[in-house]
Amino acid sequence: MWILVNEDMIQVGKSSTLFSLRAERKPDADVIIFNGAQMHGDSPLTEGDRVVFIRRGEIPSREELQSMIYARHTPGVHDKIETAIVGIAGAGGLGSNVAVALGRLGVGRLVIADFDVVEPSNLNRQQYFVEQIGMPKVEALKQTLARINPYVAVEPRNLRLTPQNAPRVFQSVNALVEAFDRAEGKAMLVQSFAPAYPDTPVVMASGVAGYWPGEDIRIRRLGKNIFVVGDMTNAARPGSGLMSPRVGLAAHMQANLVLRLLLGAVKEGET
């Protein structure tokens, strides 16, 4: 009979049990997940069962982790994701959340550029931790991503992006995420990068502050390869600060759009 073990399809004998399979496949496993539930005792196996053996604290091999992600994404989808390169300009509320989402997806390489350091005020919406205060954001984010998926290549660029260096920093990417706070930074990036690489999509954001309805955040397409996520109105101001739910919503919409672009799921004129 056939069962799934750590997302690999294998054939086992009809008399096989959880414990006999553990002894054969991973004798040092101290956690057994059987059809979605943790098991503490033995049980017979039947056709189509799903078993995951885990050793606490052990980092899965690249092959094992990839096989599990493959199973969740389906191979045809993940083949495109794991070879992709995505640039992220800015590692704050938007950029750090986009990076974590893409890291969990298993995007092959992330090129992340920012010159800032982690401050206490960042912790209300950005993917950093108290012990990372004072670290360069790109280094702290690389550290965080390594805890999520150590096999995603992260290229941190601790610098201020300018019209001169932005096209060079992101020259190899398949898609670029704009994640700046200020309008002038957004304009600088798109004006310097888009003419140099007109076939590379740029996913921007505008109007993500406050606690206004999430339904107001939409995707707009500006020309062939420029996309903007947000409500285009609510910038940070007194009484409408940058807060984790709405920033996170916009960031995940950016990440989802990047995924769709990498998969070729966005057609001409669509968003």
Q: Look at residue 237 in the predicted model and tell me its pLDDT.
A: 80
On average, the pLDDT of the chain sits at 93
Domains of the chain in start order, with CATH, are 2-58 (3.10.20.30), 76-262 (3.40.50.720)
3-class secondary structure per residue, the chain? CEEEECCEEEECCCCCEHHHHHHHHCCCCCEEEECCEEECCCCECCCCCEEEEECCCCCCCHHHHHHHHHHHHCHHHHHHHCCCEEEEECCCHHHHHHHHHHHHHCCCEEEEECCCECCHHHHHCCCCCHHHCCCEHHHHHHHHHHHHCCCCEEEEECCCCCCCCHHHHCCCCCEEEECCCCHHHHHHHHHHHHHHCCCCCEEEECCCCCCCCHHHCEEEEECCCEEEEECCCCCCECCECCCHHHHHHHHHHHHHHHHHHHCCCCCCCCC
Q: Is the pLDDT of residue 269 over 80?
A: no
Residue 268, Cα to own-chain centre: how many angstroms? 25
pLDDT tens digits, one per residue of 19-56:
999 999 999 999 999 998 999 999 999 999 999 999 99
Tell which phi-psi region holds residue 269, choosing left (phi > 0), alpha (psi between -120 and 50) or beta.
Answer: left
Give residue 235's pLDDT band: very low, low, confident or very high (50, 70, 90). confident
Q: Is the pLDDT of residue 252 over 80?
A: yes
Q: Look at residue 151 in the predicted model and tell me its pLDDT.
A: 92
Q: Look at residue 70 in the predicted model and tell me its pLDDT.
A: 76
pLDDT tens digits, one per residue of 121-178:
999 999 999 999 999 999 999 999 999 999 999 999 999 999 999 999 999 999 999 9
Mean pLDDT, rounded, for 170-193: 96
pLDDT tens digits, one per residue of 53-100:
999 988 888 888 887 787 778 767 888 999 999 999 999 999 999 999
Mean pLDDT, rounded, for 109-132: 97
Q: Look at residue 240 in the predicted model and tell me its pLDDT.
A: 81
